[in-house]
Structure 1
Amino acid sequence: MDRRNFIIAGSAFAATPAAASGGLVISASSTESELRGLSLTGGTTYWASGSKGWVVRGVGQRQDASRILGAEALDFRGLHAFHDQHVLAMSAGPGEASQLWRTQDGGKTWTRIAVNRDPDGFWDSLTFVDNKRGYILGDPTQGRFTVLYTDDAGETWTRLDPKGVPLAAPNEGAFAASNGCVAIGLRGQVAFCTGGAGKARVYLSRGGEAFVAMETPILADAPSKGAFAVTFANDGTLWVCGGDYKSPQGEGVNLARRAPGSTRFEPVAAPPGYLSGISARGRTVMATGLAGTIVSRDGGAFERVSTAPMNSARLTSKTSAVLCGPKGAIGLWKG
C-alpha cells in the first residue's frame, strides 16, 4: 500500500481554558497551521484545513489534528465535507501545488485524486451543489477565470467553456483566503468574487455556464485589495465582503449586497476592517477577517462581536457559528 495514503495523526484537546473574545470562545489550538478551509457536518461538528498539510476534525471545543502524509508542503485552503467520514481537501498554489485529496474513513487514510496540470493555473476555492455536483474556481488562464466542474463527487473535473466567462481585467484574480470566493445559490446559481483590478467584481451565472460580471463598491486598486468572499442568503440576496489584507484595520467599503433581481451591489454600513469570510443563515449574516467578526441579526445593523483575527466563518444556525483562523485558531460563537 502506498505510504502516502496514511497520515501522521495526533489527537489534541484543549489543554488550557478556552479564551473568550466578545461572543466568541476560542479553544486552545491543536496546531500552528493557518486554518482557512472550514466545512460543517452537523451542529458543532466540523472539519478545518490549512497550511503544512494539516486538517482538524472537531466537535465543539475538542479538536483532533492530523497531518496528511505526502502533503506536508501543501496549503489546504479549500475543504468540503459531504459528511463526517467523507471529506475533500483542496490545496491552493501555482501549478501542481493545487491538488485535491479525499478521505472516506474520517481521516484515517487520504488519497490524492486530482492535480492541476496547468502550469499557469492556481486553484482558489472549492464548493458543491450536492453530493455529486461541484465547482473549483481558479485564477485566470488564457485571459479568463478557470471554472472546473464535477458531477461525480470530485473524481473527474472538466473546465467549463472559457467563453462563458467574461475576459478578466489586467491583474484581476481571486483570493484563496477562506474558501469563500465562490458560492452556490438558489436554483443552481453560481457566483464568484475577485479583486486586484480597480473595482472588485462578482461574476454571476444562473446555472454555472454563462457568467455576467458586476462591479461592487469594494475597492480593488492594489493586488492586496478586493472582494474576498461571497455568499447567498436564503432569500437570494447576494453578499460580498473584502478590503485590504495588508491593512486589516483600514477604512473603506468592506461589505456590499445585491438584492434579488437587482443589477447593482449596494454598500452596507459596517465596522471598519478587512473581511475575508462571510456566511448567512436566515436573517443572520456574519463576516470575519483579521479585524475581527461582525454580525447582523434579523436584518439589523452590523456590530462587532469579537476582535480576534479569523479567516473563515460558517453559521450553524441563526445564533451560532464555527470560525477558524491564524495559528490554528478555532472559535465557537453564540449570539
Structure 2
Amino acid sequence: MCNTANAQKIEVLQQGRSISIRGLSVVNDKIAWISGSKGTIATTRDGGKTWNWQQVKGFETADFRAIEAFSDKEAVILSSGTPALVLKTMDGGANWSLKYRNDDKAYFLDAMGFADKKRGYILGDPIGGKFLVLETKDGGETWSPFSNMPEALEGEAAFAASGTCLRVESKSYLSIVTGGKVARNLSYNAKAQKWLATDLPVTHGPSSNGAFSISADNKVIVGGNYSKDKTKDSVACYFKAGEFVAIKDGPSGYQSGVEQIKGETYLSTGTPGSNITTDGGLTWKQIDANSYNVCRKAKKGKLVLLAGDRGRIGLFTF
C-alpha cells in the first residue's frame, strides 16, 4: 500500500482568490466546472491548466455550493442560503437562466445529483419533519417537490460542504448521508417506493458533527467534526457484509468529500488535508496537508480535481 500511496500526489493548480469553492463537476479529462461564494463560477477546457473565471451577473452575493455540468456549454448550479436558487446555462456560462427560486428562509439547499442528462435531484435541509427533495425530469429546466420525501429526526440535517451528501446512482436509487444529533444513511429504492434508514458509526451529537459525504458506489462515507477538524475519532466508515463498519485507522481528521478513483481506491479530502485508501476504506494514508472542500473524478475519463477555500484548485495524480 505504501508504494502505491507514494505514487499518488496532489498538485496545486490555482489559489489566492478570496472565495470558497464547494461545487465541482468534472465532465471528462479536459472539461470541468467549479462554483463557489460571491456568485463565482469557473471553467476549464484543458484539464485544469487554465480557468475562465466569472461572477454570475445579478447573483454576485450567491453561494453556489453545488454544480452539475454536462458539457463545456451546459451546467446547472444551486445556491445555498436565502434565497434558494437554481440557475442553468446553455452557452458555457455567458448567460444564466433562473430555473428555481424560493425566498422562504426555511429552504436551505445542500446538494444536487443527476441520474442522466434529464433526471436530477436536489437535497435540502428538513422542513416540517422531512428532508426537502426536489426533482427535475427535463434537465433542470423545471423543479418540483419529490413525491416521497424522507423523514428527518429531531436535530438531523445535511451538510452543504461538497455537494456529495447526496448521490444519485440511477433515477430509481438515491442515497443521502446526514449529521447533527444523529448520523444516518437514507437510501431510496423506487421499486419499493420507500426510504431505508441506517444508523452510521461516525461521530454525531453536536450540529457540526456527522456524515458529510458518501462515495458514488455507496460504499465509503466520511465526515467528522468541522469545528474540530483535526479530531480523528469516528470520521469514516465503509460498507462490508451488508452493513457500515467503523474504521479504526481512518483519515487524518474531518473530511468533507470522498470519491471512488478506481476499484477499492478512494480519495477523501477536508480542511486538515487529503487521504487515500487502496483497500476499500479499511486503512487510510494522508497524502497532502492542504485544505480542500471537495474532490471529484471525471464522469468519463481519469481526471481528478479538488477545490477549496481561497480559490484553491488541486490536481490529483495516480
- What are structure 1's unaligned runs of at least 5 residues? 1-21
1:333 aligned partner: 316
Q: TM-score, normalised by structure 1?
A: 0.85
Cα distance in 1 for residues equivalent to 2:161 and 2:29 = 24
Which fold has the larger relative contact order, with Cα–Cα distance below 8 Å and residues 6 or more apart in sequence? 2
Cα distance in 2 for residues equivalent to 1:248 and 1:105 = 39
> Percent of aligned pairs with the same residue?
31
Cα distance in 2 for residues equivalent to 1:187 and 1:146 = 17
Letter matched to residue 265 of structure 1: F
2:226 aligned partner: 245
Cα distance in 1 for residues equivalent to 2:168 and 2:245 = 20
1:138 aligned partner: 124
Cα distance in 2 for residues equivalent to 1:79 and 1:250 = 29
1:272 aligns with 2:258: no
1:324 aligned partner: 307
Cα distance in 2 for residues equivalent to 1:187 and 1:104 = 23
Alignment counterpart, residue 185 of structure 2, candidates 185, 202, 205: 202
8 Å contact kept, 2:28–2:303 = no
- What is the count of residue pairs matched by the alignment? 304
Cα distance in 2 for residues equivalent to 1:140 and 1:308 = 32
Letter matched to residue 64 of structure 2: F
- What are structure 2's unaligned runs of at least 5 residues? 1-7
1:190 aligns with 2:174: yes
1:91 aligned partner: 79
Letter matched to residue 272 of structure 1: S
> Residues 33-52 of structure 1: matches in 2 within 5 Å?
33-52=19-38
* Structure 1 counterpart SS, 2:38: helix
1:5 aligned partner: none
1:307 aligns with 2:289: yes
Letter matched to residue 311 of structure 2: G
1:17 aligned partner: none
Cα distance in 1 for residues equivalent to 2:261 and 2:135 = 26
Cα distance in 1 for residues equivalent to 2:13 and 2:98 = 30
RMSD of aligned Cα (Å): 2.0
2:10 aligned partner: 24
Cα distance in 1 for residues equivalent to 2:252 and 2:153 = 27
8 Å contact kept, 1:193–1:227 = yes
* Structure 1 counterpart SS, 2:233: coil
Deviation of 1:320 (Å): 5.0
1:165 aligns with 2:150: yes
Deviation of 1:178 (Å): 0.5
2:3 aligned partner: none
1:71 aligns with 2:34: no
Q: TM-score, normalised by structure 2?
A: 0.90
1:87-130 Cα offsets, whole Å, 9 max, x none, are: 11110014x2x101111111111121111254411111111000
Deviation of 1:160 (Å): 1.9
Letter matched to residue 23 of structure 1: K
Deviation of 1:74 (Å): 0.4
